[in-house]
Amino acid sequence: MKYLVLAGFIAVASLIYVLSSASANTAFFARDFPWLLGATAALSLAMLSLLSFQIWQLHRRIRAGQFGAKLTVKLLLVFGLMAVLPGAVVYTVSVQFLSRSIESWFDVKVDRALESGLNLGQTTLDTLQHDLNDKADAMALHLAELPGNKQASELNSLRDLYGVQEAALYGEGGRLLAVSGGRRFLPPTPDQRVLAQVRQQHPYSRIETMGGQGLVVRVMVPVNLLSLTETIPVLQLLQPVPTKLADDAQAVQLAYQDYQSLLLSRLGLKRLYGMTLTLTMVLTLLTTGALAFLISEQIAAPLRALAKGTRAVAQGDFSQMHPVSSRDELGMLTLSFNRMTRQLADARNVAEDRRAQIEKSFAYLEAVLAHLTSGVITFDEHMRVRSINPSAEQILQVQAHHLQGKKIYQWGIAAPHLSELADALIFQFKQTPSGEWQQQLGFNHAGHGGVLLVHGTKLPSSMEGGSVLVFDDITDLLRVQRDAAWGEVARRLAHEIKNPLTPIQLSAERIEHKLTGKLLPQDAEALHRSTQTIVQQVSAMKAMVNAFAEYARPLNAHLLPVDLNGLIRDVLELYNGEKSIQLELGGPLPQIMGDEKLLRQVIHNLLQNAQDAVTDVAEPLIHVSTTFSQSEVLLTISDNGAGLAEQVRERLFEPYATTKSKGTGLGLAIVKKIIEEHHGTISLDNAPQGGVIVCIRLRVVDDGLAS
């Protein structure tokens, strides 16, 4: 833009110099001045386009809110006024001087005399025309009173009476009805449109030029007859203008035209010089405007650069450094801004390093909390939840956003299964408002009761206050400890009880053998019954001891790929006579990793329990099904028995917990132990339609392991 404005300024200066030289050189002025004017107009349009483009750019900057645009407008207006006001004064004075100088070259009296003579001739012709109009009206009025057959004969008399050179009467369609005059040929036929206009009561009156006659006054008026049924005739009068009058008028008109040509030359000169002066003024103003815009831009550019740098700093970009092009106040301001930007950049780098260290520490803490098996929940000073780690979500079986920002007493609303735990936590925090506490608290774990080992700590005020809760689900730990205790009890019972059982049984049998035949029949019968009772009870105790020993003994399962559907079919071969068992095996199922012997024991124990549950049912039904879902095989065994009481259902997998009148209560405990040895899960619950439903989930064979 800068070079374009400079090139335009040079072109304008050169053209103005050529225009001033052409005004002094008459030959050059007469030959090439139109081309110079065209070039000046073209250059004016170019400079106007350039200035318009600059103004359009400035308008876009103002609408975009660019800093410095309004300052550019103010500077442009100031520079424009400084150029326009003196230029307008000089232009006005120059135009007045030029006009008066050219006016002094001509005589004004001659101009007025010629105009007066021309007006006099025009007035004479107008008088002739009005006189002929009056004669035509009088003749038409007279002819209207006569019948049509007498109008032609009366036309000559009227023409002579009024002193008209030629008269003609026209009927419908321009048909000539009568003519009167000294002409040898017929009069010229009027135009049909003129005839129609005259019949509509619009008279026609003109001064025309006819070949061979010079100027002629033509008047046409309607002859309004008394009868409305006949077509209105039209009367035409022709009266030549006197030759002397026509020649004088023509001479005056020619003289006036010649003088007007001279006047036109004078006006042309005035206009030509005025146009030259105007174009020069326009070129000067446009060039001044473009230069003013360029100068304004140069002044506002440092401020705009500083504003851009300020916005960049506000957005966090400290890399922009603006060159210092001057040593004035703006240059010093730019230098100070660059120094401030460097200082801010250094401060930000330090802050970024510290923030990176904090984020690294925070990420490390987050990673530790994410991989920590213990659940961690932090609270603010108002006991609202601030953060929850994934282990806490898994233990409490709730998503973090359900508890985020909520107080403890609101947990029951977001997750109803945490109501009991929330009440216990509120009680513990109230008991120890400051300091630490640790307690085992019960909670709802996978639909069953569980136990949490909870440790609460009050955070110091230097860490924004609040509290932290760390807890572990020790349900499985307690169960393992309980199972280990039961296993130890079973092992000791098997050891302590099994040894004396055989001597007891042998002693009872020996006593019966020695006393048989030595007692009375009644005493012998009583002895036999007592001996059988001892033997049976010893056998029952041996079975119980064997069950204890089996429960306490490690399983040592040998896991191999097993077809669960095939294994179930093999087990059910032993129950062919049972019509109450319905089989619904999904297939084909992928193989599972299992020990066939132990899995047979599981299926058999569960079927036995189901049969015992439907003993008193009128229409017993045991349903066995298998399905595949999410990389697991699901085995379901359900019955339509009486179901389980709530207090019994939660303890059925514990040793010696049973609802039967007979049995050791170790069957389901052994089943659970076998399933856990297979890395599976087992659940037992009341079925919706009644009875009990047992669900076992076993993992399918891994492709890499199977190969």
Co-location of 648 and 548 in the same domain: no
Co-location of 585 and 685 in the same domain: yes
pLDDT confidence band for 314 (50 / 70 / 90): confident
Domains: count for the chain: 5
Co-location of 177 and 73 in the same domain: no
Q: Would you say residue 218 lies in a domain? A: yes
For the domain that residue 406 is a member of, what is the CATH number?
3.30.450.20
Co-location of 566 and 702 in the same domain: yes
For the domain that residue 678 is a member of, what is the CATH number?
3.30.565.10
- Tell me what the pLDDT averaged over the chain comes to: 75
| Residue the block writes with tokens 């697991």 | 632
Co-location of 682 and 593 in the same domain: yes
> What is the rounded distance in angstroms from the CA atom of residue 289 to the CA atom of residue 75?
11
Co-location of 577 and 691 in the same domain: yes
CB 442 within 8 A of CB 420: yes
Q: Would you say residue 290 lies in a domain? A: yes
Domain boundary among 418, 449, 473: 473
pLDDT of residue 318: 67
Instruction: Give the H/E segment covering residue 440.
Output: strand 436-445
Q: Would you say residue 353 lies in a domain? A: no
> What is the rounded distance in angstroms from the CA atom of residue 535 to the CA atom of residue 541?
10
pLDDT of residue 548: 63
Percent of the chain whose predicted confidence (pLDDT) is above 90? 1
The pair of three-digit structure tokens given for residue 627, joined into one six-digit string: 């399905």
What's the order of all strands across the beta sheet hosting 467-473? 385-388, 375-379, 467-473, 448-458, 436-445
The structure's pTM equals: 0.37
pLDDT of residue 30: 52
CB atoms within 10 A of CB 616: 9
Q: Would you say residue 430 lies in a domain? A: yes
Q: Would you say residue 379 lies in a domain? A: yes
Taking only the tens place, the pLDDT of each residue in 157-205 is: 888 888 888 888 888 877 888 888 755 456 777 888 888 888 888 888 8
CB 301 within 8 A of CB 75: no
pLDDT of residue 706 exceeding 50, the answer is no
CB 606 within 8 A of CB 565: no
| Residue the block writes with tokens 């999904």 | 586
CB 293 within 8 A of CB 50: no
Q: What is the largest CA-CA distance in the chain?
A: 202
Co-location of 611 and 676 in the same domain: yes
Domain boundary among 212, 241, 270: 241
Of 404, 400, 401, the closest CA to residue 392 belongs to 400
Domain boundary among 520, 552, 584: 552
Name the DSSP class of 682.
E
CB atoms within 10 A of CB 342: 12
Which structural domain range is residue 270 located in?
A: 2-105+262-309
State yes or no: cis peptide before 588, omega within 30 of 0: yes
Taking only the tens place, the pLDDT of each residue in 645-702 is: 776 666 666 665 565 555 556 677 788 888 888 888 888 888 888 888 999 999 888 7
Least reliable range by pLDDT among 103-107, 311-315, 342-346, 567-571: 103-107
Half-sphere exposure of 331 (CA within 13 A, CB side): 5
- The alpha carbon of residue 586 and the mean position of all alpha carbons in its chain are separated, in whole angstroms, by 50
pLDDT of residue 705: 41
Co-location of 49 and 144 in the same domain: no
Spatial CB neighbours of 562, under 8 Å, sequence gap ≥ 6: 591, 592, 593, 594, 595, 596, 599
Q: Would you say residue 319 lies in a domain? A: no
CB 549 within 8 A of CB 666: no
Taking only the tens place, the pLDDT of each residue in 319-368 is: 767 676 667 666 777 777 777 877 877 887 888 888 888 788 777 777 77
Taking only the tens place, the pLDDT of each residue in 5-62 is: 676 667 666 766 666 665 555 455 555 666 766 777 777 777 777 777 777 877 777 7
> What is the rounded distance in angstroms from the CA atom of residue 178 to the CA atom of residue 139?
14
pLDDT of residue 704 exceeding 50, the answer is no
pLDDT of residue 325: 66
Highest-confidence range of 84-93, 193-202, 443-452, 484-493, by mean pLDDT?
A: 193-202
Strand-pair partners of 444: 449
Q: Would you say residue 157 lies in a domain? A: yes
Q: Would you say residue 580 lies in a domain? A: yes
Mean pLDDT for the stretch of residues 127-150: 82
Co-location of 148 and 202 in the same domain: yes
Co-location of 603 and 657 in the same domain: yes
Give the chain's length. 707
pLDDT of residue 654: 67
Phi/psi of residue 383, each to 5°? 60, 35
Co-location of 392 and 419 in the same domain: yes
Taking only the tens place, the pLDDT of each residue in 535-558 is: 877 777 776 667 666 665 666 778
Rounded-to-10 torsion of CA 624, 630, 631, 633? 0
Of 86, 52, 12, 19, the closest CA to residue 275 belongs to 19
Mean pLDDT for the stretch of residues 491-499: 65
Co-location of 173 and 85 in the same domain: no
